[in-house]
Structure 1
Amino acid sequence: MNHFLLLGVSLVATSVGLYIIPFCKTAVLLIVMMSVFGISFGMLDTGGNVLILDIWGDEGAPHMQALHFSFALGAFLAPILAKLALDTPVSAENHTEPAFQPPATNGSSEADSAPLFGLPDDMNLFWAYAFIGTYIFIVSLFLFALLFKKSSGQEKSKPSAQGYRRAEYHKTLLCLLFLFFFFYVGAEVTYGSYVFSFATTYAGMEEHEAAGLNSIFWGTFAACRGLAIFFAACLQPGTMIVLSNIGSLASSLFLVLFNKSPLCLWIATSVYGASMATTFPSGVSWIEQYTTISGKSAAFFVIGGALGEMAIPAVIGIVQGQYPDLPIVLYTCLGSAIFTAVIFPVLYKLATLPLD
């Protein structure tokens, strides 16, 4: 399937979902719409990575970093924009409601007559979704324009960016990279999700301090992804992964050892966010240097990251609730850092083995 068509369709589906979600009045319908939204976003994530590999091959490291920087920047800015939009509620009561509603004869008929769609109580909620949905739709138009652009002459004259190559342990590399991204993304989302709760309940921080700690994690994460665009032009992806592993291992170790020190929490959280920023895009660029990555291959290790994002925070939340006196979140980050630091040399060894 054409990459531009896939990305364009996924963005249109995302845009439509963003317009519909504020009007959902039942939990089932909201679950369906969020599922469609998640599927389209998964297509966008995988398709974007594969498109960059297809266009630039193993020379696409700066472009890969730019793609993932856009993810981080959007994740950082979207909640701020949403908060600004939701600060002043606007009522949607532009229609008359009857003063008296006769009681329903039975519960089932009342549930059956409940509307699936309706105006949200706060219209600013709709405008927040509509603004982002419109922006995404405009971007999709550019992708469709690229799809329909007459470029047959350019396609013929375009030199191949890379030849097809397949490492001897191609499938083993993909499986190990699946695990690598599973633990890396899981640790990233776990710390980002629970750092506020950890800081308030375990480290004894005030809520505004904990909010600042959460912001500095995601802020350094986004900033270093932006800087990585320039670093990727002069550093190999493998070098960036090693530096990221060292930073995440050192910072998570300090977090575990000095988990009650506010100064250490601030410094180590900043370093941890910066260290985690470049690992995923560098990993995708790195594997392309040794074995050609198809759409199915990219989808496989992207699924690994998605499963880690879903499973590890859920499990850690349950375990942390069972052992509130232990910094389970920090142990998870340290354990994931150790795992990724150990598995990457194995990946490198397998990738560089000569073909028979």
Structure 2
Amino acid sequence: MSTSNLQGGKTNHLKGMKYFVTVCLSLAFCALGVAVGIIGPTLRTLAYNIGVCLDELSFIFVARGSGYLFGSILSGIVFGKLNPNALICASLCVTAVGLTAVPFMPYVVLVALSLSAAGISMGFLDTGGNVMCLKTWGEKSGPYMQILHFSFALGATLAPLLSQPFIMDTPQNCTFTSSQNSTSLSSTSTPVRGTTEVLETPDMKFPLVAWAFLISSGFCILVALLFCYIAWSWSNAVPSDQKNTSIEEGQNFRMKMLGLLFIFYLLYVGTEVTFGSYIYSFATISENHYSKEEASFLNTLFWGTFAIGRFLSIFVSIWVTPNRLLQMDLVGTLTASVIMTCFPLYAENSGFLLWIAVALYGLSMANIFPSGISWVEQYITVTEKAASVLVIGAALGEMLFPLLLGQLIEANAMILPYFTAVSTVACILNYILMLWVAKSRGKRLNKTAKFEVVEKTGDYGENSSLMNDYKTEEGL
């Protein structure tokens, strides 16, 4: 067999390994999307099962966000030192265990602990998966990064549909009271004056909503088996195609970019998770008082258009630059936010505008996370530690924003669209500042390529065009 045939066979084998890893990562992100999205539509049922009101249960978002934060930090430290496939396998298994425990916990604190454990593994998976994709495909990672995050959106879209048969019709403005024998819920939304509807708290031995969490956990375990197979069957890891130019970029520039990206992802992911978690509650307690089926469909509409946007971006990203995609998405989110803030003006006669705004919002939010990573990779090398900084910002947003909204949304449903609009404007302002800092330095691979040409040609003359271009981009 000729040397060229051997090299060709090796190249095809490596490509096959890369594609297989990408498929497995996509399934892992789909499982991650289900794990994140399952909480929103089941939140009111979980609160009712435990015997608390919605604002008290919003504490669980802090617990999950704290775990996500810790998992992101831990991932940045150990991900490059241990077998990444084994680590992702372990993170999926821990996620499955945490989700399984949630519906069986009789107290908010225990639910929070279960979600905190799941959050650690989810933060680990989020950070590690993004880094693995960048290392696997290098400069060509754009479409594959979009595939990963489309898979997350697909999982988040399936979550409300999966949970809908297992959630309960719960009263609206509720208070819980304790007695010697049982915990009961008093509904203040009863239509008959002077009467009180008392609903007994369901048996916690096996609540109906547990099926939604068990199905989600089973999916995580199945995907974990794939990574277990890779970790134990492949003797060699997939070679990295990522070019590391951290030294050439300079620590000062990297710190500025990572600081701004930290804020950007804190705002973006915090808003995304908050909206996805509370759109169901917003629909049921708003002026129109949507039924649980309508609220579930509205929730699914958001995540569905979110998934469609990420699917379309797989192909769009081939021709459209990440920067242009970000600009289009930010304009779309701002437009949708303005329409939603005007909901009281058209709620009675033109309620369909809310559905249009939610669809536009989901479509526009879809590409921001992967496009942001692909865009910043043009200016700085996204290493394990750099990726952990981004996910830490995302985890803080996921932790703080839902907690804040959970305390306020029961009193006024319009808090959700108002918050969305303010956060979107802040995100746009941060993006403008980030773009200014990035363009003041220039793209990292362009500088590296020109310097390599200067070295190869030996054209070091002070007046050479290549050297002048290099000096200009370096700011010399």
Distance verdict in 2 for CA 1:61–1:82, change over 3 Å: same
Give the corresponding residue for 2:361: 272
Q: Tell me whether 1:237 sits opposite 2:322 in the alignment.
A: yes
Establish whether residue 121 from structure 1 lines up as the match of residue 194 from structure 2.
no
Distance 1:51 1:159 in 2: 9
**Bigger mean CA deviation after superposition, 344-353 or 285-294:** 344-353
For the pair 1:311 / 2:400, whether they are aligned, the reply is yes
Displacement of 1:161 after TM fit? 3.8
Instruction: For residues 207-235 of structure 1, give each alpha carbon's deviation from its aligned partner in whole angstroms, at most 9, with x where no partner exists.
Output: 25444333322221122122222222222
- Cα 1:353–1:33 change in 2 (3 A) is same
Q: 2:381 aligns with which of 292, 300, 308?
A: 292
CA distance in 1, matches of 2:157, 2:287: 24
**How many angstroms apart in 2 are the aligned matches of 1:68 and 1:191?**
18
Aligned with 1:220 (options 305, 308, 313): 305
Alpha-carbon separation, structure 2, partners of 1:49 and 1:318: 33
Q: Is the 1:62–1:229 Cα contact (8 Å) retained in structure 2? A: yes
CA distance in structure 2 between the partners assigned to 1:289 and 1:76 by the alignment: 31
Q: Percent same amino acid at aligned positions? A: 38
Is the partner of 1:229 in helix, strand or coil? helix
**Higher deviation after alignment, 122-131 or 33-42:** 122-131
Q: 1:306 to 1:162 in 2, by over 3 A?
A: same
Deviation at 1:321, TM superposition (A): 5.4
**Cα RMSD, aligned residues only:** 3.0
SS in 2 for 1:162: coil
Relative to the length of structure 2, the TM-score reads 0.60
Partner of residue 186 from structure 1, selected from 238, 251, 270: 270
Any idea what SS the aligned residue of 1:233 has?
A: helix
Going from structure 1 to structure 2, the CA distance change for 1:249 and 1:19 (only over 3 Å counts) comes to closer
Unaligned runs of 5+ in 2: 1-80, 169-202, 442-473
1:11-160 equivalent positions in 2, closer than 5 A:
11-21=92-102, 29-84=110-165, 121-122=205-206, 128-152=212-236, 160=241
Query: Which structure has the higher relative contact order (CA within 8 Å, separation 6+)?
Result: 1
The yes-or-no answer on 1:171 pairing with 2:252 is no
Deviation by residue 1:110-168 (Cα, 9 ceiling, x = unmatched):
xxxxxxxxx9633866654444333322322222332234454x86xx57442424544
Q: What is the deviation of 1:271?
A: 0.8
Q: Distance in 2 between matches of 1:308 and 1:13?
A: 22
1:120–1:126: 8 Å Cα contact kept in structure 2? no
1:254-276: per-residue Cα shift (whole Å, max 9, x none)? Answer: 22245432132122221111101
Contact 1:8/1:143 (<8 A) preserved: yes
State the TM-score, normalized to the length of structure 1: 0.79
CA contact (8 A) 2:89 2:227 kept: yes
